[in-house]
Chain A
Amino acid sequence: MTAVLEVRDLRLWYGTARGSVRAVDRVSLEIDAGSVLGLVGESGCGKSTLGRGILGLLPEGARADGEVLYKGRNLVTMSPRELRRLRGPDLGLIFQEPMTRLNPLLRIEDHFRETIEQHDSKLTPKDVRRRSLDTLGRMGIPPTRFRQYPHEFSGGMRQRIMIALALVLRPSLLVADEPTTSLDVIVEAQILRILADLKENFDTALLLITHNLGIVAEACDRVAVMYAGQIAEEGPARDVFADPKHPYTRELLRSTISLDTKVLHSIPGAPPNLISPPSGCHFHPRCPDVMRVCPAHDPIETQPDPDRRVLCWLHGPEREIPEGGTAPLEREQIAVAEEA
């Protein structure tokens, strides 16, 4: 199965007055057709930037370095015009807040017509209408509401409309940026079912960005855990959750609340400042298993199992660790108010 998306060594930095924000700091990943990759992490870890950056939708002041190969073509070096042409028929993005993503002055019909006609101007109005209603129908929106305005729909329905808009041109790669975060649990389940359906019927490659581990466990084939702009760990979802290799993943899982939870567990400290992240392994100030080598040298990615990657000194490579590096690091209690 060929990879629809291959990200290699991607860096996405923002320029600010106080220095460059390293939102994405050398990330590599792959997504195959019909496969769902979950991207999890705390707020501010860079996952949203990664999702947008892959599609080339970053605000001004952001710069990209590295490769984003979509079906072999590098999106980073592509001209803006070519990139724009890919958006819609090949690349799709679903946003987090559906309430404000539709133009309040245009009917749903107008939104669809514009999207389709901008990419395929040869379709007749009847065809345009048919395709739109077809996609909307799959999302559970009846044809009678086609000519209504956005404010006449609830949040959940608007999200479904947004998904339909993203899908109407059958893109091969879809990025969903926290699609259910602002919706209630029941609607969330509906949306997830729709996304699972994509995999079945359209063979779409899906990058599902979320901070909710439950969603990942339920809907994703593979998962990548992100911390401070880097991928801490990546592998098949079931395996990663059953046997987490990176201390951060482990702590994340322990922090998840379920019906069995008796004591609240949290990771001490706060997510790091991305302008000047901690030296060496970015997680070292908060890591319960920190060793002396961790702050000193950037960790090197290893494959503890054939299908898994991890970025942690605990998993070697042994020969790169200097003398005495594996000894635990002595440090004072972490200041709770570590600024972000």
Chain B
Amino acid sequence: MATAAVRLQRRTVGIRRALAPIAEARGMARTMLWTGVGMTLVFVLLAIFAPLLSPYGFDQYTSGGHRFAQLAHPSHAHLFGTTVQSTDVLSRIVWGAQTELEVVGLALAFGLVVGVPLGLIAGYFGGPFDRGTVLFMDAMFAFPPLLLAIVIAFLLGGSVNSGVLVAAIAITITYIPQYFRVVRNHVISVREEPYVEAARALGAKPFTILRRYVFFNVVQNVPVIATLNAADAVLTLTALGFLGYGVQPTQGAEWGYDVSRAVSDAASGIWWTGLFPGLAIVLLVTGLTLLGEGLNETINPVLRRRSIRQVDFAAPSMDAGAELLEA
């Protein structure tokens, strides 16, 4: 007589088993994982609650009728100072978080939706489709990723209006080969496993095999790759912004763009216009990387370390004594 609780338990066995290592994580891996989660969460909250948290708008340079000071030092009124355009640095950081996460989220979603199925199909079925796709992806790998992103952003910038979309697409295209390759390699190794062979021998249709066995096995790898890619994506996005591509200044705040404006300030010794956006980038990417590495260490068995407890030779022996004999 299975109760609802037991049925739920049975249904979630797969997920719980996959997540189990996270609970067992010890030492370094655990610290990294949760620190990463914390840091990333801060920015996620900033992004979601930007309208509430930010003192001013991202391109706001007046308030109550009078214009903000230009290049003002950090002060009570402007905690991180102001830029040459009299915008508030702190506000731009907060709104910038929204921009970053928006673009990266989109890019990840696109990349997964395109790259993972491609990898699954190419890896499982092989043949000319596989060979052609691999050749194509390898060719794309030959491009420096940033270069590719720049060119694509450049080409799309004219026709697509939303800078966020432009940047997202540029980043997606740059990372698809990576998703593809990882998924494909994993599928190939899983494909040869005895249990998959057995399923085939029992007459299972390819799609069923893909869905039941291959997909879940492969999907385990994806969170780690996605998180680490998210970190790279942020760097790519800010690089695009630095060079003036992707999100345009009129469409939103972007940290990389802010740093590029700050380069000319540096000669005059003005540091706050560049330092804070730069730090924001470092912290967000570090958070994402810690999260990804933490996940990697907990899930990946090669790097995993089982905890060791001290041996105590003086522990009581197993001699049950005379009690058993009485029975």
Contacts and interface: CB of A to CB of B under 8 A. Distances in A.
A and B touch in the complex (CB under 8 A): yes
Contacts of A62: 311
A280 interface: yes
Nearest to B315: A20
A324 B311 contact: no
Nearest to A330: B327
A62 to B, nearest CB: 7
Nearest to B307: A17
Interface in A1-31: 11, 13-17, 19-20
Given A14-B311, A61-B308, A65-B313, A292 B325 contact: yes
Contacts of B312: 20
B1 interface: no
A279 B319 CA distance: 6
Contacts of A15: 308-311
B324 A296 contact: yes
Contact of B309 (A20, A292, A296): A20
A11 B320 contact: no
B311 A295 contact: no
Contacts of B321: 296-297
A280 to B, nearest CB: 6
B8 interface: no
Contact of B313 (A11, A16, A295): A11
For the side of the interface on B, what is the size category?
10 to 19
A16 B310 CA distance: 8
B309 A322 contact: no
A11 B319 CA distance: 17
B324 A295 contact: yes
For the side of the interface on A, what is the size category?
20 to 34
A322 B312 CA distance: 30
A293 B325 contact: yes
A16 B308 contact: yes
A292 B320 CA distance: 12
Given A61-B308, A322-B325, A280 B319 contact: yes
B201 interface: no
Contacts, number: 61
A322 B311 contact: no
Contacts of B325: 292-293, 296, 322, 324-325
Interface in A132-146: none
A322 B322 CA distance: 9
A63 B310 CA distance: 9
Contacts of B311: 13-15, 20, 61-63
B317 interface: yes
Interface in A73-111: none
Contacts of B308: 15-17, 60-61
A120 interface: no
A16 B306 contact: yes
Given A16-B306, A16-B308, A296-B324, A280 B318 contact: yes
Nearest to B313: A65
B151 to A, nearest CB: 41
B10 to A, nearest CB: 19
Residue picked from A14, A61, A277, A278, most chain B C-beta under 10 Å? A61
A65 B321 CA distance: 24
Contacts of A277: 318
Residue picked from B315, B317, B325, most chain A C-beta under 10 Å? B325
A181 interface: no
Interface in B256-309: 306-309
A14 B310 CA distance: 8
A280 B313 CA distance: 18
Nearest to B24: A17
A298 interface: yes
A229 to B, nearest CB: 11
B304 to A, nearest CB: 13
B319 A17 contact: no
A16 B320 CA distance: 24
A19 B324 CA distance: 24
Residue picked from A277, A280, A292, most chain B C-beta under 10 Å? A280
B319 A297 contact: yes
A301 B238 CA distance: 75
Residue picked from B306, B321, B324, most chain A C-beta under 10 Å? B324
A13 B314 CA distance: 12
A325 B327 CA distance: 12
A328 to B, nearest CB: 13
A298 B306 contact: no
Interface string A151-175: 0000000000000000000000000
Interface in B5-32: none
Contacts of B323: 296
Nearest to B312: A20
A13 B313 contact: yes
Interface string A288-305: 000011011110000000
A72 to B, nearest CB: 24
Given A60-B308, A65-B313, A296 B322 contact: yes
Given A20-B309, A65-B313, 13 more contacts: A11-B313, A14-B311, A15-B308, A15-B309, A15-B311, A61-B311, A63-B311, A276-B318, A279-B319, A279-B324, A280-B318, A280-B324, A298-B318
14 contacts: A11-B313, A15-B310, A16-B306, A16-B309, A17-B309, A20-B311, A276-B318, A277-B318, A278-B318, A280-B319, A292-B325, A298-B317, A298-B318, A324-B325
